[in-house]
Amino acid sequence: MEEEEQPRRGPHFVGKKEELIEAKRTLITVGGRDILVLHHQGVFYALDCYCYHSGGNLQNGDIEELGSRLCITCPKHKYKISLAEGEGMFKGTDPTVKPPVAKWYTKGVKQRVHAVTETNGDVYITLSDDRCYIESDYYQGEVGKERRAKAAAQEKAS
């Protein structure tokens, strides 16, 4: 099925379950969005591929459990993003608690996540239909793409 024939929202065929499990991480473009589909601990996740903070590519980010949330770390600036909800995570302390104990807090949803389904060994994603602006949307638009390309060219030159 070609991308033009599919509705923007989906479901969009990503690949065969076993192939995606073996690959662990797959970058696909659907409806003009670059999506990272990853398999970790028996679960598929899909989220915008570029970090909400500065457009870093999440494809090679480390995955770790922070508090009770499974998160990916942006390789560019080490921002933490929960895989299931797209929340930006940070470690802080509550100054009213003595002694202060550091714990993980959420900044709210910063990264757009997309639904993943599996049928008869085929994996599909359905793009988020949340119409509110989410910070990772910036790096999926034309201005964000230009900014990413410019930053990549500067990094390559240095």
Residue 59 CB: number of other CB atoms within 10 A?
15
| Alpha helix positions (H), the chain | 17-23, 142-157
Phi and psi at 153, nearest 5°, equal -65, -40
Check pLDDT > 80 for residue 4.
Answer: no
The model's confidence at residue 17, banded by pLDDT at 50, 70 and 90, is very high
* pLDDT tens figures, 81-114: 999 999 999 999 988 888 988 999 999 999 999 9
Phi-psi category of residue 10: left, alpha or beta, with phi > 0 → left and psi -120 to 50 → alpha: left
* pLDDT tens figures, 124-144: 999 999 899 999 999 999 999
What residue ranges define each of the domains in the chain, with the CATH number in brackets? Answer: 11-149 (2.102.10.10)
pTM value is 0.88
Nearest to 106 by CA among 77, 136, 68: 68
